[in-house]
Structure 1
Amino acid sequence: WRMDETYIKVKGEWKYFYRAVDKEGNTIDFLLTAKRDMKAAKRFFKKAIKRNGLPELVNIDKSGSNKAALKSINKEDSEAPKVDPIVIRQCKYLNNIIEQDHRNIKRITRPMLGFKNFYSAQKTLAGIELMKMIKKGQMIGGDGLSPAGQFYSLAA
């Protein structure tokens, strides 16, 4: 996995949008939080692991909160039998995939000049991520359909 966070403006204040992608650039998970601390990072990792399983390796930037959260998860999992710890790799260049992926979100949200409330920001960002996942062909059952066809199949 490659994991990073970016800033999103909500009510004139910066909030933190955590995202993870795999090595092909496919979205693994995302979460909008009010704070950028170990608690928020741990909540993001727990959510991503619950939905996608335990990763072998996670590439992160030099963020101390992300590293502390992963170490905490490793400590919890070390008590479980036959669970290998998550390898933590801190290298900013290996996160170029996700940094470029952030650019698409910023491109869409910048003209909005921020969001009025946290709830609308969460829902709008979830919709943006869903559309990106459809374009990347990540929707289950969307084989052979165009992105528009996949989108319309959601409503059916």
Structure 2
Amino acid sequence: MDETYIKLKGEWLYLYQAVDKEGKTVDFLLTRKRNKLAAHKFLPKPITNNGCPNVINIDKSGANREAIRTYNKRRLKRIRIRQCKYLNNRVEGDHRFIKWRTQGMLGFKSLESASRTSSGIEIVRMIRKEQVGCLMATYFKTFCSLAA
């Protein structure tokens, strides 16, 4: 679990991402703030959709650590927190593609356009990693079915 930033009219937005141990994107969320509330808003969705992990690798972000601790207090199954920047390289590498795609755009004009564009980039990355789609479907057909 990690976050990166995207520029919107001169201010930073934060894109939270969760990646599993195989490097597959689990979930993502674009928020205006990088704090405990934003991390807490993001955390339950990937856990609900993909099951509760034993360990979550995070960087030294206090917001992510506190969100996981709060989640642990409310649930029976505990998630172990591992804070090591080297173990978080898999998700950091995933940020590279978002940065590369959005850097030439000179920022976004609205939160809605930033959210839709980042969602589209993430969906394309998921298709390329062969996380979704049928064996016989083309990339375009798979993208259209996910975007609908």
TM-aligned CA distance change 1:130 to 1:68, over 3 Å? same
Task: Specify the alignment match of 2:109 in structure 1.
Answer: 116
Task: Specify the alignment match of 2:40 in structure 1.
Answer: 42
Q: Which runs of 5+ in 1 are unaligned?
A: 78-82
Query: Secondary structure at 1:93's aligned position in 2?
Result: coil
Q: How many residues matched? A: 148
Task: Specify the alignment match of 1:125 in structure 2.
Answer: 118
Task: Specify the alignment match of 1:90 in structure 2.
Answer: 83
- The 4+ residue runs of structure 1 with deviation greater than 2 A are 143-156
Q: How does 1:12-51 map to 2 (within 5 A)?
A: 12-51=10-49
Q: Look up the equivalent residue of 1:43 and give its one-letter code.
A: K
TM-aligned CA distance change 1:155 to 1:95, over 3 Å? closer
Q: Which runs of 5+ in 2 are unaligned?
A: none
Structure 1 residue 56: Cα displacement: 1.3
Equivalent of 2:143, from 140, 147, 151?
151
TM (normalized to structure 2)?
Answer: 0.92
Query: Secondary structure at 2:43's aligned position in 1?
Result: helix
Q: Look up the equivalent residue of 1:132 and give its one-letter code.
A: R
Structure 1 residue 154: Cα displacement: 5.2
TM-aligned CA distance change 1:85 to 1:114, over 3 Å? same
Structure 1 residue 151: Cα displacement: 3.1
Listed one character per residue, the Cα deviations across residues 8-45 of structure 1 (whole Å, up to 9, x for unaligned) are 00111011100010111100000001111101001000
Structure 1 residue 46: Cα displacement: 1.5
The whole-number CA distance in structure 1 between the counterparts of 2:59 and 2:147 is 38
**Larger of the two Rg values belongs to structure:** 1
User: What value does the CA root-mean-square deviation take over the aligned residues?
Assistant: 1.7
TM (normalized to structure 1)?
Answer: 0.88
Task: Specify the alignment match of 1:60 in structure 2.
Answer: 58
Structure 1 residue 54: Cα displacement: 1.4
The whole-number CA distance in structure 1 between the counterparts of 2:147 and 2:62 is 42
TM-aligned CA distance change 1:154 to 1:96, over 3 Å? closer
